[in-house]
Structure 1
Amino acid sequence: MAKKKQAKKQANTSNGFQKYVRWFWTLFLGGISAVVLMFLLASWGVFGALPDHTVLENPKTNLATEIISSDGKTLGKFYFNDNRTPVSFDELPKHLVDALVATEDARFYEHSGVDARGTLRAVVKLGSGGGASTISQQLAKQLFHGEGSSNIAERVLQKVKEWIIAIKLERQYTKEEIIAMYFNIYDFGNNADGIRSAASIYFDKEPNELDIKESAMLVGMFKNSSLYNPRDHRNPIGTRNRRNVVLNQMEKYDYINTKTSDSLKALELGLRYSPQSHRDGIATYFRAYLDGFMKDWIRNNPKPDGEKYNLYGDGLKVYTTIDSRMQNYAEEAVQRHMPRLQAEFDNQNTPERNPTAPFLDLDKNEIESLMNRGMRQSERWRVMKKDGKSDKEIIASFDKPTAMSIFSWKGEIDTIMKPMDSMRYYKKFLHPGMMSMDPLTGHVKAWVGGMNYRHFQYDHVKQSKRQVGSTFKPFVYATAIDQLHLSPCYKMPQSQITIEALKFGNPEPWTPKNSDGNYGGEVTLQAALANSVNTITARLMDKVGPQPVIDLVEKLGVESNIPAVPSIGLGTADLSVYEMVAAYSTFANQGVYTKPVMVTHIEDKNGTVLYQFTPESRDVISAETAYVTVKLMEGVTRVGSGARLRRTWMPKTGVYPEIITGYPYEFKNPIAGKTGTTQNQSDGWFMGMVPNLVTGVWVGAEDRATHFKTITYGQGAAMALPIWGMYMRSCIDDEDLGISTSDFEAPKDLTIQVDCDDYVEAGDETVPSEEIPDELDF
């Protein structure tokens, strides 16, 4: 009996044990089956669509359009939200990849998308021992489903999808491609989308130029780019500590040794913050022009399937003619000269010295009318009008103190000011416009449309048109040389001349005056142009007539309307810097006009060429006429208003003090040029040429009623020439640019005498050069 009870007990125990075993296997296999089923259902899209094969091949990311200089530098980008330009794995330095693997996924090269050990550890420790996401899973999350949900069930499903996509990515791409994609997709903050933007914005480098500590900082940001942002002053120590964690991981996995790790951890972050926004960085005004150029091109050049290109998301590459080095030299010259010039202008236009400051020659009613017109043309007016505000409400807002950030040459000033007062404040500023171009190819090398695009967005290269003053005179001389075959040594009387009414359609007689009041004797054409003798230009205009001059100027690429009156010879026409540089380039290019070129070609994100520019050029004048005109303009920089370019001494006193001119420039090479100043000093110009570079500079205020009172500072030689001088000094000193210091090439069939030492007029035994007064050589 006892044996039966014991046997029964053992059988019951056995049955109970087997029951538990069955339950265990049922739960285990059921769990496995449930997991498998969940993965199958997820892969079938039951819990939401997964990317298919084609999407995995071409994951959708917004790629910024990149603007590339002629010397291979990124000038800027066009983008809405994603400032992303992808790089290949080969462009990533090894230590950057090592830092990522050591910190984010030490077994990256061993798994196939999901790290089983890491996952098991995360499950056992409930995530306290670190996350289980591999680089492939993090890439899947970035590409296809974004941030996780707060709901546990949804988080589990998202993780399942993440695993499936990660495995698919591993099958579709190599390990190297996955790493490159992850670096390219990540948002590092401050418009730094992707590693290339991050390297540029935080360290002003390309990715392959990063050093180990810089790479460690950027990899550290993968944990949380907001929390560990080096520009965020709330957590400066945390950002450095996070970088050092990455260095510790690199040491742990033997990518660097202890000595290297310790030395790097002691260093500062070494930021060189270079923001990339549409209103910051290099060549901002040129980029604004290019934005319009690209939109026009996109409008007229659809994709093969008929869709339009997306300037802000298709990853186009725009190759420009701008040379980043020359652009920097141009912007530096503006930054050096304009604050000095503005300081002198402000000194002369204090309310005590000028009650109508910053305006001159205007009465109270005229100033009020000017300000009201400016108010109605302002951005504030446009925005408020669009919002449905009445004129009365908008006008009232201009007298309401408002918090704002205003421009100054010492940096932005945060202040509270009435918008009307801020308008008057901005009216006092003098503005620059500058363009530099290769006359042979037409390639525009530098473009400075103003001094600060964030505050002044009107472009003074192509948009603005202002009176050109005496810089127009070479066109008159060129016409006369072409028609009359005159030599630079030909002499004409300086005496006053009156061009009779209606001779050239004039409503009344015109009698120009010389600025120095000198009307005695004769001077050569070379001396007359060098010293801007108005009466000589008027005599030439009287001989050739306005219309032939206008015809020539139009052939030189000037599209602005110019009235057919003799006074245009003294520069009454309003032209742009862009037009003037293109026109002058014809003289340097032996009489051949070449249309300015800003874009050489455009590529799509795959490198396929979508646009290739076609040069546009035409013969305008003979090589002889062009050369003789150039020789005339060389006199301006030898003995005329541009002679200061050659001085090797620094004046201590005088009408052109050091603070304005930037002396000495010490040019010894041939330079052809012309200064220009309008009648009341509203506009100052300098056009300067060497054989392979033509550069034009304009300086003036927004309103012509804002100007220097006297010609001491208000002439082109003081306002514009210094910018040209400093820019060209930098360009010539940079031997890699190859700026010519040689003579302009003379045509082989030159028949016009340009050397005045050998020139004798018909029937005259006197050498005119001996009659040139000594005082001209100043």
Structure 2
Amino acid sequence: MILNKIQNKYLRWGIIACIGLLGFFVLFISSIRWGLWGKIPKEEDLSDFQYQRASEVYTADSILIGKYYLYDRQPITFKDIPEDLLKALVAIEDERFYEHSGIDYQSLGRVALKTILMQDQSSGGGSTITQQLAKNLYPRRDRVNTNIVVDKVKEMIIASRLEDIFSKDEILTHYLNTVSFGDNTFGIESAALKFFNKKAKDLQLEEAATLVGMLKATYGYNPRVFPEKSLSRRNLVLTAMAHNNFIEDAERDSLATLPLLLNYKEYDNNEGLAPYFREEVRKKMLKWTQEQKEDGNEYNIYTSGLKIYTTLDYNMQYWAEAAMREHMKSLQASFEKSYGENAPWVKNKKLVDKLVKQSSIYKKLKSQGIEEQQIWDSLSQKKKMVLVDWEEEKTVDASSIDSLTHYMKFLNTGSLSLDPHSGAVKTWIGGVDFEHFKYDHVAQSKRQVGSTFKPFVYTAALEVGIEPCTYFSAEEVEYENLKGWSPSNSGDKDETYLNYSMEEALSNSVNTVAVKVLEETGINNVLTMAKNMGIFTELPNQPSVALGTGEIYLNELAGAYASYLNKGRAVLPYFIRTIADKKDSVLVEFEPKRAVEPAYSEQTRQIMVEMMKSTIDKGTASRLRSTYKLNNAIAGKTGTTQNNKDAWFVALTPKLVHVTWVGLDNHEIGFRSTQLGQGANAALPIFAKLMQEMNQHPSYNEITQAQFERTDPMVLDMLDCEPVKKDGFFKRLFKNPDKKRKRKFKSGNSTP
């Protein structure tokens, strides 16, 4: 053998060792290629991989407001990637990208020399963009040191196969669609939207350089967390571009002087615009995907990249939320001040104990078999926690009980705006803070609706033939067959002698008259009318229903009120227009759902609109005119429930229905006074402030300047009567305002 002819034994053994090492290396590489160290994807697998794509939620005006995802990724095509971004990536990450075939042996040699021989740990890993793509597609599952070499070799093999399958442009596209930018954000499109609130194709060169600079260390060079380090890294990317002749030195120097300007927008479930609305869309989408699965179509809202186009108006929602925050902050302060030191969340131990026992943390400890005293000791233990109010977030020493009582006093709200002709939702506010109050008061909460139910009573009355100028006494009556039930008004005793027309009684929300109108109409007729108008919730078959003791969903109430603007036909609020796939091909379009037949006559509709105009012009909601100076065409109704626990306001404009509720989640606490808790004070301002803002923008003139249809002169004649008549001398003589008149409630439909 040739080796035997070599006389120098050291040389001979050295050659043998080299051959052995080479053989071992070849066998080692082959064993990895054969899959002995774990499966390596074949070319057919690599050519057919699928991205997990985030589904996107858009407003009616095509503004992205939310995503549903496991990985926040929105893949884009090569044509949507700006050339400057590609040049920045190649310059800093792989300057010989267009010269190698997936493995840069020159770079590997440099790394080996510096790392192994010169112990230079800053020399980098020598991975090409193609190798990094391989790592993105098939992440390293086990990062112990013994497997690093195996992982590297696997990535080199995969990289070679990727280069055989894809063009250089396709590799860059796949890489930029899969690379992580930290915080569960994957791909350049999602990163551009998060850090600069724009699509990747619209990035400026300095913005592209900032994002590319993050790839070396997504946290360490995060421009939001470490702006100075990110700026330095961005300028290094610009220098690399100049070094590779992608930009001129003068352009690099000019760009390097620019400040780092972010427009950070995280698509967090708890934050951003319309979080309650987005959650309701998510629930609807889960139901839709399940229905599709039953039909043999596999869609996943977290991975399929669906595009959900909603009916929400971006600007209106933004203004509605701003109006809500401004009003609720002020109202909360007044609410707490009204109770002072006697607040139930401070003084009412029985109520606090009840709240604690209803809490999830108490129930969890109880289910674990922990004794009662130990549970209370645990919940009373102080610890550092963050408590939020309208002013700030505060880190304090507090117990779980302290936290529960802190949030117990928060007023909450729900409001909804919709197109009365289609039911398309324009704004949706389910509460004051989605992070801390997940319960949606639009779709989940049923509350007593108070006087906002009265229009249904009056509508039924008109339909059975009661004339709008029929007069009803405001005198308080004690109904003997209803266990002495005696509805009253908030006015003075002089009302005993007053008789109201229906219009005047409704506009001033006179309780005693509403009950008498219901008595004359018949409870069954009223309940049937409410059902025909879209109230599907079962209502109490009792005279008190005239005062809104029935509990109704807010969106249900809005759909029913829409009938007054929609030829007597109720609408079903809807909020998804179309669902498209990842290629923007429409999968389904949702049509408005409206009642086929009107619930009442056109004459009744016009009478009711005129009556509710009076509520705004001279009734309980007149502060829209006097305080908020709104001259828009508006009709509506205020509502306040017993003990001031629920405040309501419904606004009707020719092109918009807006419903607002304000109260506490704990039904046992109400406003301290009617002055503070009435619908006109607690709920109305949210609509008023929204409309004030809309009036400032000509693009919303179609809504704000719309006028009601011309009322039939015959209807106006029917309403042309004295609003109030006073009892004659002899009637007043025999009436005692200090003594309630007793009689039986006439309707046979009621349940005592």
Which TM-score bucket, shorter chain as reference?
Answer: 0.7 to 0.9
Q: Distance in 1 between matches of 2:471 and 2:614?
A: 17
Query: Could you say what secondary structure the match of 2:401 adopts?
Result: helix
Aligned partner of 2:310 in structure 1 is 320
Structure-2 change in CA distance of 1:144 and 1:460 (3 Å): same
Query: Could you say what secondary structure the match of 1:445 adopts?
Result: strand
Aligned partner of 2:517 in structure 1 is 540
CA shift, 1:225, in A, is: 0.6
**Correspondence 1:185-334 to 2 at 5 A:** 185-232=178-225, 235-302=226-293, 309-334=299-324
**Correspondence 1:503-518 to 2 at 5 A:** 506-508=482-484, 510-513=486-489, 515-518=491-494
Structure-2 change in CA distance of 1:146 and 1:607 (3 Å): farther
Structure-2 change in CA distance of 1:561 and 1:370 (3 Å): farther
* Contact 1:349–1:358 (Cα < 8 Å) also in 2: no
The residue type equivalent to 1:239 in the other structure is S
CA shift, 1:321, in A, is: 2.1
CA shift, 1:138, in A, is: 0.6
Q: Distance in 2 between matches of 1:158 and 1:455?
A: 44
Structure-2 change in CA distance of 1:311 and 1:551 (3 Å): same
Is residue 2:45 matched to residue 1:69? no
Among 549, 564, 567, the residue aligned to 2:544:
567
CA shift, 1:723, in A, is: 0.6
Among 74, 87, 99, the residue aligned to 2:88:
99
Query: Could you say what secondary structure the match of 1:330 adopts?
Result: helix
Query: Could you say what secondary structure the match of 2:657 adopts?
Result: strand
The residue type equivalent to 1:222 in the other structure is L
CA shift, 1:76, in A, is: 1.9
Among 112, 131, 142, the residue aligned to 2:101:
112
Aligned partner of 1:739 in structure 2 is 703
* Contact 1:42–1:161 (Cα < 8 Å) also in 2: yes
Q: Distance in 2 between matches of 1:437 and 1:524?
A: 31
The residue type equivalent to 1:741 in the other structure is Q
Is residue 2:682 matched to residue 1:716? no
Give CA-to-partner distance per residue, 1:196-233, whole Å, 9 cap, x none.
3322332333333433322222111100112222343x
The residue type equivalent to 1:106 in the other structure is E
Give CA-to-partner distance per residue, 1:566-592, whole Å, 9 cap, x none.
221122222222121111112121211
**Correspondence 1:676-687 to 2 at 5 A:** 676-687=639-650
Aligned partner of 1:753 in structure 2 is 715
Is residue 2:64 matched to residue 1:87? no
**Correspondence 1:89-488 to 2 at 5 A:** 89-126=78-115, 129-146=123-140, 149=143, 151=145, 154-232=147-225, 235-302=226-293, 309-351=299-341, 355-358=342-345, 367-385=348-366, 389-484=370-465, 486-487=467-468
Give CA-to-partner distance per residue, 1:69-124, whole Å, 9 cap, x none.
222222222234x2223233333333323321221122333443333443444345
Q: Distance in 2 between matches of 1:208 and 1:417?
A: 49
The residue type equivalent to 1:220 in the other structure is G
CA shift, 1:304, in A, is: 6.2
Query: Could you say what secondary structure the match of 1:686 adopts?
Result: strand
* Contact 2:55–2:68 (Cα < 8 Å) also in 1: yes
Query: Could you say what secondary structure the match of 2:540 adopts?
Result: coil
Is residue 2:594 matched to residue 1:617? yes
Structure-2 change in CA distance of 1:104 and 1:641 (3 Å): same
* Contact 1:191–1:276 (Cα < 8 Å) also in 2: no
Structure-2 change in CA distance of 1:59 and 1:383 (3 Å): farther
CA shift, 1:24, in A, is: 11
CA shift, 1:717, in A, is: 1.1
The residue type equivalent to 2:437 in the other structure is F
Q: Distance in 2 between matches of 1:771 and 1:98?
A: 84
* Contact 1:494–1:518 (Cα < 8 Å) also in 2: no
Q: Distance in 1 between matches of 2:699 and 2:30?
A: 63
Give CA-to-partner distance per residue, 1:25-48, whole Å, 9 cap, x none.
999999888777766554443442
Query: Could you say what secondary structure the match of 2:428 adopts?
Result: strand
Query: Could you say what secondary structure the match of 1:739 adopts?
Result: helix
Unaligned runs of 5+ in 1: 1-11, 648-662, 761-766, 773-778
Aligned partner of 2:41 in structure 1 is 51
Structure-2 change in CA distance of 1:57 and 1:493 (3 Å): same
* Contact 2:6–2:12 (Cα < 8 Å) also in 1: no
Aligned partner of 1:651 in structure 2 is none
Structure-2 change in CA distance of 1:196 and 1:384 (3 Å): farther
CA shift, 1:341, in A, is: 0.9
The residue type equivalent to 2:130 in the other structure is S
* Contact 2:276–2:430 (Cα < 8 Å) also in 1: yes
Give CA-to-partner distance per residue, 1:448-489, whole Å, 9 cap, x none.
1111111122211122222212111111121122222644xx
Structure-2 change in CA distance of 1:379 and 1:324 (3 Å): farther
Q: Distance in 1 between matches of 2:21 and 2:61?
A: 62
Query: Could you say what secondary structure the match of 1:312 adopts?
Result: coil
The residue type equivalent to 1:312 in the other structure is Y
CA shift, 1:537, in A, is: 2.0
Structure-2 change in CA distance of 1:118 and 1:329 (3 Å): same
CA shift, 1:608, in A, is: 5.3
The residue type equivalent to 1:744 in the other structure is F
Query: Could you say what secondary structure the match of 1:680 adopts?
Result: helix
The residue type equivalent to 1:183 in the other structure is L
Q: Distance in 1 between matches of 2:98 and 2:717?
A: 77
**Correspondence 1:488-637 to 2 at 5 A:** 490-496=469-475, 498=477, 506-508=482-484, 510-513=486-489, 515-519=491-495, 520-607=497-584, 609-618=586-595, 619=597, 620-637=599-616
CA shift, 1:431, in A, is: 1.0
How many residues get paired?
714
Structure-2 change in CA distance of 1:712 and 1:769 (3 Å): closer
* Contact 1:204–1:273 (Cα < 8 Å) also in 2: yes
CA shift, 1:433, in A, is: 0.9
Query: Could you say what secondary structure the match of 1:584 adopts?
Result: helix
Q: Distance in 1 between matches of 2:366 and 2:714?
A: 63
Structure-2 change in CA distance of 1:485 and 1:670 (3 Å): farther
Query: Could you say what secondary structure the match of 1:592 adopts?
Result: coil
Q: Distance in 2 between matches of 1:149 and 1:64?
A: 28
CA shift, 1:719, in A, is: 0.8
* Contact 1:492–1:536 (Cα < 8 Å) also in 2: no
* Contact 1:282–1:328 (Cα < 8 Å) also in 2: yes
Among 687, 693, 702, the residue aligned to 2:665:
702
Among 655, 659, 662, the residue aligned to 1:692:
655
Give CA-to-partner distance per residue, 1:600-619, whole Å, 9 cap, x none.
33344454555443432212
Structure-2 change in CA distance of 1:720 and 1:770 (3 Å): closer
* Contact 1:545–1:566 (Cα < 8 Å) also in 2: no
Structure-2 change in CA distance of 1:543 and 1:171 (3 Å): farther
Query: Could you say what secondary structure the match of 2:41 adopts?
Result: coil
Q: Distance in 2 between matches of 1:43 and 1:408?
A: 60
Give TM-score scaled by structure 1 length: 0.83
Give TM-score scaled by structure 2 length: 0.86
CA shift, 1:377, in A, is: 2.0
Structure-2 change in CA distance of 1:702 and 1:559 (3 Å): same
The residue type equivalent to 2:421 in the other structure is L
Q: Distance in 2 between matches of 1:556 and 1:91?
A: 50
Query: Could you say what secondary structure the match of 2:691 adopts?
Result: helix
Give CA-to-partner distance per residue, 1:311-363, whole Å, 9 cap, x none.
43333333322222222111111111111111112222221xxx24458xxxx
CA shift, 1:746, in A, is: 5.0
Q: Distance in 2 between matches of 1:168 and 1:625?
A: 75
Structure-2 change in CA distance of 1:509 and 1:161 (3 Å): closer
